[in-house]
Amino acid sequence: FEASGQDADYIGVAVPPENLPEAFELAKHKLKGINCPIPHKKAVIDLLDEVDTAARDLHSVNTVAFRDGRAVGYNTDILGFAESLSRDGVKLRGKKVLLLGYGGAAAVMAYHCITQGAYLTITGRNMEKAAALQKQLCDAVPGAHVSVFNRRHIPRDIQIVLNSTPVGMYPKENVAPLHYLPHKTEYVFDAIYNPPVTATMKLANPKKTRVRDGLFMLVMQAAHAQTI
């Protein structure tokens, strides 16, 4: 705010889940907007007057703007992810993408991939959760190309690898969710930003595979939230 010359404050408030409706009403009358971290990203939707399309499809809101007595919800994580790929000149249309994981960050990455025309493969330890994410995506985006494979049967022609899991995060930074990358991999994105070079990124051949950690995504989702 200081850098952009705005007279504003950003504060953190601990809100137990059962107190969310009361806290939300107070915020609506006193603030310009709020960020909603876990565990409020889904519960806050019932309190909103309007929800952005991506946030609605993802069942996840992390930013709320209060305008003219109305509360409007957005998901800026997807904007941060999209800008990370854009910064690296990565085009998703027609590309074969492997997504590691099926949680909230995975849903964001997956949704952006399928809306941009990628062929998405989801994998992880729990195939039921992977299949549940597949169903959510296909319900939200009819015609989306989404498949689920266990890690032993990952397609060999994968071109882009996305890690949404915390595997490899400090202090267990030497662990990777994969033992090796598919040989056609040309880009690796890891949502982890500590350490800055993750175990998954280290699997990449530096001569043919570009890599990026999650720090730019983190910064850009916050920047978009401030803009909203």
In the chain, the DSSP E strands lie at: 33-35, 50-51, 63-67, 70-74, 96-100, 119-123, 145-148, 160-163, 187-190, 210-212
Tokens 């492997």 appear where? 98
The encoded tokens of residue 41 equal: 């990203």
Yes or no: say if 118 and 98 are a contact pair by the CB < 8 Å rule. no
Who contacts 165 (Cβ-Cβ below 8 Å, separation ≥6)? Answer: 100, 101, 103, 106, 124, 177
Determine whether 41 is an active site residue: yes
Catalytic residue, from 28, 30, 32, 41: name it: 41
The encoded tokens of residue 115 equal: 């809306």
Give the Cα-Cα-Cα angle 115, 137, 187 (nearest 5 degrees).
Answer: 55
Which residues are identified as catalytic? 41
